[in-house]
Structure 1
Amino acid sequence: MTLDQFRPVADRLLGPWVSAAQWLGLTPDQVSVVAFGVAVVAAGAFAVADPIFYLFGAICVLLNGWLDLVDGALAREEGIASDGGDFLDHVLDRYADIVIIAGFTAGVGAYALGFLAVTGVLMTSYLGTQIQAVGIGREYGGLLGRADRLALMGVVGVLAAITTAPLVVGLNVVELLLVLLAVVGHLTALQRFRGAWADL
């Protein structure tokens, strides 16, 4: 069960954001680029690893996730949804995932955990798009979709602003996030693989 199932609810809340993007003259692709820029800012904030920066990074992560919905809603509203726009969105989403995890990793210096976390996240996303490529349809399900990851990153950013003291087995909240992304990311990828394999 993932937050992606609530996309229809989010779509109903996007109207003012779509209107604002139209008023600013932004195209869906430009919104995608802005969303990625916000992710880069979040990564930089997490790398600083200071309480106020953790909080700022958390806000940026949540904004990145929201703008990732706005670009698609804007494309549908203007009737200009395209394969090119969808492709750009996916590429920038993956780079956003990488830079945000890299920011968290640099902030705590847990590079081995960061490597495992980013590979778990990338494999989850890869399986989703590869399933679509073989004609089964896009797969958002699994234990941890992108919406869930961004929500977790936002919550962890807030918690890290409060404390980065060790919590469990000597790991602080950021390190625990990286462990969770690593373990659950790879499990989600395997879950998606199993489901798709059964449908082939």
Structure 2
Amino acid sequence: MTINSFRNHATKILHPLALILEKRRITANNLSILSLIFATLSIPMYYYSTNDHTYLFMAALFVFLNSFTDALDGTLARITKTEGPSGDFLDHIIDRYSDVFILCAIFFTGYASLKIGLIAVTGVLLTSYLGTQAQAVNAGRHYGGILGRADRLVIIILATIATALYSEKIFYYSILGWSMILIATTSHITAIQRIHHIWQALKKESEDITKLPKPYK
């Protein structure tokens, strides 16, 4: 995941903002809910952009704000020491709804075909599921692979802006449409990578158990 390599740099920006929010008694859960609102607001922007492409700039802004508040809520939770199962659960639910809202807004408004949209949505949901399922089988959370959520949102933001600037189709699809094809493809590749990683981790764990000395009877 390319964007994750910039996590330390992002933290330097997010940390002081989180401190300000802490003083104003804004919670991490508040930010999580706000991120969902931003994702929801992107839907009408994509819808109206079919008649006026300038709405795509607003759509890109709302997707960015969704990504930004999603990153900020984790930082705020760590600062306020309010990390816990309930907050983690809420964050994951909101992220999945946000993903579906944004992706569906793009392909339901005609920037990509329904088939491509469904492939993209299933790929995104599978990668997210596998990330947490790894923990459920005691393999630890795993969010590796070529395309994480942050990478995906950056692609959508850039493609949305690019389409606003150049709306002509390139081989049947706009730039935003091609970004959906990219996400649809790489999401499933990421899912396969995560399946392989989890399977290898479980296999190694099983082998380690068999190597343990058997108790004397």
Amino acid aligned to 2:90: L
Give the aligned partner of residue 37 of structure 1. Answer: 37
User: Structure 1 unaligned runs (5+)?
Assistant: none
Say yes or no: does 1:143 pair with 2:146: yes
Amino acid aligned to 1:46: Y
Aligned residues: 199
Moved over 3 A (4+): none
Matches within 5 A, 1:87-126: 87-108=89-110, 110-126=113-129
Amino acid aligned to 1:193: I
- Asked whether the equivalents of residues 156 and 174 of structure 1 are also in contact (C-alpha less than 8 Å), the reply is yes
- Asked whether the equivalents of residues 128 and 192 of structure 1 are also in contact (C-alpha less than 8 Å), the reply is yes
Give the aligned partner of residue 153 of structure 1. Answer: 156
* Secondary structure of the corresponding residue to residue 169 of structure 2: coil
Matches within 5 A, 1:75-90: 75-90=77-92
Q: Quick one: distance in 1 between partners of 2:3 and 2:34? A: 23
Report 1 or 2 for greater relative contact order, CA contacts < 8 Å, sequence distance ≥ 6.
Answer: 1
Q: CA deviation at 1:80?
A: 1.2
User: Structure 2 unaligned runs (5+)?
Assistant: 203-217
Give the aligned partner of residue 187 of structure 1. Answer: 189
What does the per-residue CA deviation read over 1:127-165, in whole Å, with 9 as the maximum and x for residues that have no partner?
Answer: 111112212222121010000001001101101111221
When the two chains are superposed, the root-mean-square deviation of aligned CA atoms in Å is 1.4
Give the aligned partner of residue 59 of structure 1. Answer: 61
What does the per-residue CA deviation read over 1:54-80, in whole Å, with 9 as the maximum and x for residues that have no partner?
Answer: 111111111111111111111111111
Which has more radius of gyration? Answer: 2
TM-score (norm 1): 0.94
Amino acid aligned to 2:70: D
Q: CA deviation at 1:194?
A: 0.6
Q: Quick one: distance in 1 between partners of 2:23 and 2:42? A: 26
